Amino acid sequence: MLVLAIDQGTTNTKALIVDETGQIHAHASAPSSTDYPHPGWAEQSASGIWDDTRTVIDAVAGQLPGRSIDAIAISNQRETIVAWDAETGEPVGPAILWQCRRTAPECAALIAAGHNDTVEAATGLGINPMFPASKLGWILKNRPEAIRLLDQGRLRAGTVDSWLLWKLTAGASFATDHSNASRTQLFDTELLQWSDKLSEIFGTPTACLPTPLASDSRFGETAAGATSLPPGIPIMAMLGDSHAALYGHGVRRPGTVKATYGTGSSLMTLTPQRVASSHGLSGTIAWTDKSGTAYALEGNILVSAQAAAFVAGLLGVGDAGKLSDLAQTVDSAEGVTFVPALSGLGAPHWNDHATGTVAGMTHGTTPAHLARATFEAIAMQIADVFEAMQADVGERLVGLRTDGGASSNAFLMQLQSDLLQRPVESAVVEEVSALGAAAMAFRALGAEWRPDTRSNRYEPWMDAKAATALRDTWREAIRRACS
């Protein structure tokens, strides 16, 4: 049995064909480009997202001629919103990315008006420009075509999973799953439905939103001509990429945290029931399936592994790998700290006005010290969220499971274990999000999922007092960045 898993991310789009043992039989990837037309803005071509997806689908299908695909699974970058015309299928402007801060003033006004408690009670999410609700409100205020289409009943708006489903089915299916819906700030995570009250707060009519379904639903079937795939292949699973990664790590009960190291980072841990955070995190739906609704706590870091590429460019050393090599030429950052608040700060600090800062430099500071401070910053932000999660759940969290491109960096993973004073397990297989979505599709088909569960394990080497001292220095750097 074979499943085609699509992983549409911020920096690239991937497609895998896998069997129920997790063996990858075909793989293709296409890079994505992001535009930053104004300070704080971030967007991608919606048509480009689909073109890249179609390209990688056709590429993997071509690697296995004559083999039939039993189902499709989708994991996707979350909180990015696409609006389009239901008749033509053409997008109404670029997709507004999760990183985009263009609605920060609108969000601040809603908070000042006293709406945050209402929104957080229904969704688990504090009002923030990262989430799609304010972005959709912005589209309806600033793109006249969107209002015209809404008046005609032709406007469709949804997260990337909905956009891909629409294109794969040639407009026959307009749906999303509960994990993606739970990240919009328009979805009541207890009632599992769009909220008219939230719609009113953000000025976003629910009529243009997709049908929310369980993550393991039969969302639709491929249409003839949409891709090189034959018609009739069922789309059997859709999840946000961070949720899919948690599922792919095999986490099914509370106690373990998952961290994805990508452009940004998402940490997620399961909770026994719906939880409201009091430490700067989000309550969310991990997934829904035949066994019910799984709830989780999540912390979103806006700039994570991207910080290494950014500093590598500033120093002119090439790429993040070269920066890592440079960082390992010194034993410490010698007091240098880098707070990569290049798009403000996300969880657990949530400061839209913070900017990137470097502190602690002296005449003795070298590029290697800044390089090491950069990798410490990536690990420190993860540790901030991990500690906030532990405070929310009120119990000791036992360890961290990691995925994403930077999780293959042994130096970073050892540093992470040292700062957390916990074991870190890094997945040997990189495509954890795609495999998590595939796992759900296999189970929806009634097949037993038997994946490779090997991982690289890191234990703390650093003395606990030394780790605490570094954490204290970092907290002071965060305080300065937020002041």
CA 107 to chain centre: 21
DSSP element (H, E) containing 51: helix 46-63
- Full DSSP string of 377-394: HHHHHHHHHHHHHHHHHT
- Token output for 469: 């001292």
DSSP element (H, E) containing 43: strand 43-44
242-270 residue pLDDT tens? 999 999 988 888 889 999 998 889 899 99
d(CA 124, CA 109): 19
- What pLDDT sits at residue 95? 97
- What pLDDT sits at residue 454? 74
- What pLDDT sits at residue 298? 94
Q: Select from 269, 248, 250 the least CA-distant residue to 258.
A: 269
- The whole-number average pLDDT for the span 442-467 is 90
- What pLDDT sits at residue 478? 96
Place 6 in a pLDDT band, splitting at 50, 70 and 90: very high
Place 178 in a pLDDT band, splitting at 50, 70 and 90: very high
Question: 3-class SS at 244?
Answer: helix
- What pLDDT sits at residue 156? 98
- What pLDDT sits at residue 42? 95
d(CA 327, CA 267): 25
- What pLDDT sits at residue 374? 98
* Residues forming a β-bridge with 3: 18, 71
20-48 residue pLDDT tens? 999 999 999 999 999 999 988 999 999 99
- pLDDT for 115 beyond 90: yes
- The whole-number average pLDDT for the span 8-14 is 93
- What pLDDT sits at residue 343? 84
Residue 102 sits at the vertex; the CA angle it makes with 239 and 261, to the nearest 5 degrees, is 40
Q: Among residues of the chain, what percentage have pLDDT more than 70? A: 100
Pairing of the two strands 282-289 and 292-301 = antiparallel
CA distances from 227 to 16, 50, 233, 292 (A): 15, 10, 11, 33
- Token output for 84: 């389009």
Q: Are 210 and 194 in contact (CB under 8 A)?
A: no
- Token output for 482: 């937020």
- Token output for 72: 């499709």
Q: Select from 133, 83, 141 the least CA-distant residue to 110.
A: 133
DSSP state of 300: E
d(CA 422, CA 178): 32
Lowest mean pLDDT of 65-69, 97-101, 361-365, 468-472, name the range: 65-69
- What pLDDT sits at residue 113? 97
- What pLDDT sits at residue 276? 84
- Full DSSP string of 427-459: ESSS-HHHHHHHHHHHHHTTPPP-----EEEE-
- The whole-number average pLDDT for the span 59-85 is 94
d(CA 91, CA 108): 28
- What pLDDT sits at residue 464? 95
What separation, in Å, do the N-terminal and C-terminal C-alpha atoms of the chain show? Answer: 56
Place 381 in a pLDDT band, splitting at 50, 70 and 90: very high
- The whole-number average pLDDT for the span 363-367 is 97
- What pLDDT sits at residue 257? 94
d(CA 374, CA 358): 10
- The whole-number average pLDDT for the span 50-57 is 97
Q: Are 16 and 431 in contact (CB under 8 A)?
A: yes
- What pLDDT sits at residue 341? 94
Pairing of the two strands 3-8 and 12-18 = antiparallel
Q: Domains of the chain, with CATH numbers? A: 3-242 (3.30.420.40)
120-169 residue pLDDT tens? 999 999 999 999 999 999 999 999 999 999 999 999 999 999 999 999 99
